[in-house]
Amino acid sequence: MAQYGRDQSSTGPNPSRDSSSTSTPGLPPRMRFLRSEPVTEPLPIADALKRTPYRDPNVMGGPDDDTEQQKALDIAARVGELLLRCGASTRDVEASVVAVAASAGLRRLEVDITNQSLLLQSPSTNGRQPLTMLRVVRSSTRDFSRLMAVHQFVESLVSGGLDLDEATKKLKRIQRMPRLYPRWLVSVAFGGLAASVATILGGGWMAVAVAFVSAVLVDRVGRRLSNAGVPAFYGAAAGGLISTALAWFAYMSHQSRVVGEFVAHNLPGTMSTADFAYAISGGIVALLPGRQMASAVEDAVTGYPVTASGRVLTVILDCAGITVGVGAGLALTLNLDRALDLSLQSPGSLRFDMPPTALLLQVACGAIGAACAAVTMRSRVRMLLPTAAAGALGVVGVALLTRYVGIGATTATAVAAVSVGFSARLVALRLGAPALVIVMPAVSPLLPGLRIFRGMYESVSGSVIGATKVAQSGVGVTTMLGAVGVALAISTGLVLGDVLSAPLDKPLVRRRRARRR
């Protein structure tokens, strides 16, 4: 529980006049270098906003009675609830709540954020029982447009542009905002993300088309299951199964005599066994919970272990559902392949070291994939271009570091994530949005979909057909751990980039001060 309040040392004796308050009893003056530290006191509520976008807020006069204080606390609780619902990290939620409370004139506040619950407590103005607010968020959604609106709302409060009554009305309008983009466009954007990832990996036109269709189909099926009340684990498993089965049927249709001859004579390219893997990998990336993964790692790094543990468990269950679905699809298709003797089951024929795609094509697909991911997260139209630029930056960083510098893929991904996190905060705050709005869709093309599929293929194909050279369960586990390493590299890199860019927020603070004059 974070506690913020008025610095009590400012009301006590002056340390420069009372040496006993700062020196250790019995210590000679010449031994000042052994002097102990003063007792730690609660921080002033505004001082808790250092290194956040809301530092140096405009503080209103304190509430006159419990009614005004209750209103201020209610606004802060609603802001925190909306941010938790939109998937913001715990650090951002706490900073926003404290900023609203400080701007409303509250002098003391205790904030406790535990996974899905938000608890606020402030001493009463008349010295009676403290005022308490509790909010529980039982479901989250991808709505970066609403997240951006809440950020701008908090910024307007911090700048001193709203009173409590006007703030209450504006916050209610934000809560009633309709979701951006029609649902069919979001499904198409999922397909665009999957297709761009398949292209980045080096897939042909058949792999790209299959990845697009499977992602759209998986999104529609997942929405139906969610509306029917099916838990997310089973929806993720169904998505992995559909992606694998659809890619296998497309591959086998291409290998049949009639369809194969038609494709060879009328359409360019073929669908190789590597394309089979790339098509599934694109669909897996569209399913991965990248937003929850980054928030969980940030919570763990920034000192919120309980909330981080809950989010990590959610991420593990979602990823486990995907791997179960992919594993079930592979087991089904490989058994069918063995029964029909269609020669797909040889692990040696499924190569993952294909020649890399042209750099310009990869960068373009990185930008397209990031923009499509932004649409799936309901980001505003004016944020699509900066998000696409950040996605291109991440892809080109990984490509250049691995090809020309010789850095490993995981390290290169971490460095690219740092650059994306650094630049995203600089750009997003100047456009009136939190950094999360740009960083999360920007790194979506970098998520380790291929490694997850490869690990499942190596594990499942070995158990199904008894292969011993490549497809061994131990090798599959190692590959899956490599996928976890890439995901951690992305998440920790984004946090480090955000921390490094925090000192560069000073122009925004100076602009806020100028508006008050």
Q: What is the dihedral of CA 12, 17, 23, 26, to 10 degrees?
A: -120
- Residue 128: per-residue pLDDT: 72
At residue 257, the pLDDT reads: 47
Coil, helix or strand for 131? strand
Secondary-structure breakdown of the chain: helix, strand, coil percentages, each rounded to the nearest 5: 70, 5, 25
Residue 299 CB-half CA count within 13 A:
25
Cα 486 versus chain centre, distance: 14
Instruction: Report phi then psi at 121, rounded to 5.
Output: -145, 135
pLDDT of res. 465: 46
pLDDT of 393 reads 93
Per-residue model confidence (pLDDT) at position 63: 64
* Residue 68 CB coordination number (10 Å): 17
Position 469 scores a pLDDT of 45
Nearest to 290 by CA among 309, 314, 325: 314
At 18 the pLDDT is: 44
Decide: helix, strand or coil at residue 439.
helix
- pLDDT at position 356: 58
Check residue 380 and give its pLDDT: 92
DSSP structure string for 272-320 = -HHHHHHHHHHHHHHHS-HHHHHHHHHHHHTT-HHHHHHHHHHHHHHHH
In whole angstroms, give the CA distance from residue 377 to residue 441.
8
DSSP state of 345: -
pLDDT of residue 335: 75
Tell me if the pTM is above 0.85.
Answer: no
**pLDDT confidence of residue 467:** 45
The alpha-helical segments, DSSP class H, found in 63-162 are 66-85, 90-103, 144-158
CA-CA-CA-CA torsion sign (72, 74, 77, 81): negative
Sort strands 117-122 and 109-114 into parallel, antiparallel or unpaired: antiparallel
Give the pLDDT confidence score for residue 515 in this predicted structure: 60
Residue type at 158 in one-letter notation: V
Average pLDDT of each block of 10 consecutive residues along the chain (517 residues)?
Answer: 51 42 56 59 63 75 71 88 85 88 81 86 76 83 88 85 79 87 92 91 85 92 88 89 86 59 52 79 82 80 84 85 84 72 45 60 91 93 94 90 84 92 91 90 86 73 49 66 84 89 77 61
Q: Are 59 and 105 in contact (CB under 8 A)?
A: yes
What are residue 437's phi and psi, to 5 degrees? -65, -30
Query: Distances in Å between the alpha carbon of 335 and those of 248, 339, 477?
Result: 12, 6, 21
pLDDT score at 21: 44
Q: How far is CA 145 from the centre of its chain?
A: 15
Looking at residue 196, what is its pLDDT?
A: 92
